[in-house]
Amino acid sequence: MKLSRQELIKALQGWNQAWENHDLEGVIALFDDDILFENWTGAKAKGKEALRKAWAPWFANHGGFRFIGEDMFVDEEDQKILYRWIFESPSFEKGFEGKPERRRGVDLLHFKDGRIFEKLTYSKTTIEIDGKRMAFHL
């Protein structure tokens, strides 16, 4: 089943709302059971349960985060969305703990049968705190 352009956009909007609500189950709901997720560090999770397990502590302990959508490109034929975002969160950077932090990134989302089966995340390695750019530390 292929989604129309409008259905892809609507799915992304619902998914974004789940992120905004810090609703792990709502975020996971759009994923295919065999989802392949690769984050910006290169770490991978294969399968919905592995992703849930990897993200559960982050959702539970990393309050205050949000993604702000900046732009998207929707390829209806190939069922892909390129989604550019800004991530805002209280910082864990030494000397800046708790201050608002911003980072830019992109998700490449591949859909199959109405679900995301591959999510590749790319992110800047710089962050912005107090209007200053600095290197992000892992």
Angle at 19 between CA 16 and CA 25, to 5 degrees: 110
> Tell me, what's the pLDDT at 138?
63
> Tell me, what's the pLDDT at 136?
75
> Tell me, what's the pLDDT at 60?
86
Paired residues of 80 in beta bridges? 75, 110
Q: Residues 76, 117: contact at Cβ < 8 Å? A: no
Complete domains list, the chain, with CATH:
5-135 (3.10.450.50)
* Residues of the chain under the 50 pLDDT cut: none
> Tell me, what's the pLDDT at 93?
83
CA pair distance 100, 81, nearest whole angstrom: 28
Pairing of strands 31-38, 115-123: parallel
> Tell me, what's the pLDDT at 40?
87
Q: Residues 89, 64: contact at Cβ < 8 Å? A: yes
